[in-house]
A = this chain, B = another copy of it.
Amino acid sequence: MVTPPLELPFIRTGPFDLATQGATLNRRDRERLALIAVRMRVPADRILFERGAPADAVYSISHGIVRSFRRAPHGRRRVLALLFPGDLSGLARQGRYVNTAETVTAATLFKVPLDQLAAMARGDPGLAFSLLCKATHSLREAQRHTLIVSRAYAPGRVAMFLNMMDETAGRSQRSARVAARLSTADIAEYVDLTPGAVSRALADLESRAVIARRPKGGIRIIDRDRFDHVVNGGHL
């Protein structure tokens, strides 16, 4: 009934690299999940679930972007992950969601009841293994995020973010121009800067001819070498 049932086509690597093999949940896994998932369309800026709420489902993103975040004391939010098509959202602990999830753009996603997913995974090594791959992928991304946030050099953070978006875009044509869909404020939340600092960083990278900003918020990488240099920790 759902076509494609659950598109999770982006797991290129495995848990402890168990799976250089695949990228996607295989057909069988997708079909099995489709049996228990509910498809839903959600407009932008809609909360999917709140931190602390009983965790009853996992969301598989089919289209659109979702952000996972926590609220800091003084109103500022700390985004812990940006989720793209193929990603799963719903990290929990002791029955409660750990973060709040909200759509950034309009999105279509599949809601998978947790109890059913757990039951299914327990009896299905292939599925459990696939989920392990996903979790491992998320772990790598989280570590990359830590790397981004721990850099002092603002253009470095932004460059790493752009690089991430660039890679993500490679996963699917759909999300190719995603970066353009994200506001300066969205980027700022993810890389832990203020919108102003992001703006300055982008201006800096542009003035040095590393990137070029196109109208509509599009960004193009002009000088790959120097861009990579900055991404890898370089200071210019």
Q: Which residues of A contact B (CB under 8 A)?
A: 12-20, 55, 58, 70, 72-74, 78, 80-81, 88, 90-96, 98-99, 114, 117-118, 121-126, 128-129, 131-132, 135-136, 138-140, 142-143, 145-147, 149-150, 192, 232-234
Contacts of A114 in B (CB 8 A): 16-18
In the complex, A91 Cα to B136 Cα: how many Å? Answer: 8
Q: How far is the CB of A80 from chain B (nearest CB, A)?
A: 5
Whether B125 pairs with A121 at a CB distance below 8 angstroms is yes
Interface of chain A, main secondary structure: mixed
| Closest chain B residue to A59, Cβ basis | B16
Whether A150 pairs with B147 at a CB distance below 8 angstroms is no
Contacts of A145 in B (CB 8 A): 142, 146
Whether A94 pairs with B13 at a CB distance below 8 angstroms is yes
Copies of this chain held together in the complex: 2
In the complex, A8 Cα to B121 Cα: how many Å? Answer: 20
Can you name 15 A-B residue pairings with CB atoms under 8 Å? A16-B117, A17-B55, A17-B94, A18-B121, A73-B232, A73-B233, A81-B143, A91-B140, A91-B143, A122-B125, A123-B125, A124-B125, A135-B136, A142-B145, A149-B150
In the complex, A78 Cα to B94 Cα: how many Å? Answer: 30
Using A18-B118, A98-B143 as known contacts, list a sample of 16 further A-B pairs with CB atoms less than 8 Å apart, ordered by residue number in A: A15-B118, A15-B121, A17-B92, A17-B96, A18-B121, A19-B118, A73-B232, A73-B234, A74-B233, A91-B143, A128-B128, A135-B139, A138-B139, A142-B142, A142-B146, A150-B192
Given known A-B contacts A125-B123, A147-B70, A233-B72, A91 and B16 have beta carbons under 8 A apart: yes
Whether A17 pairs with B129 at a CB distance below 8 angstroms is no
Contacts of A123 in B (CB 8 A): 125
Contacts of A121 in B (CB 8 A): 15, 18, 125, 128-129, 132
Q: How far is the CB of A24 from chain B (nearest CB, A)?
A: 16
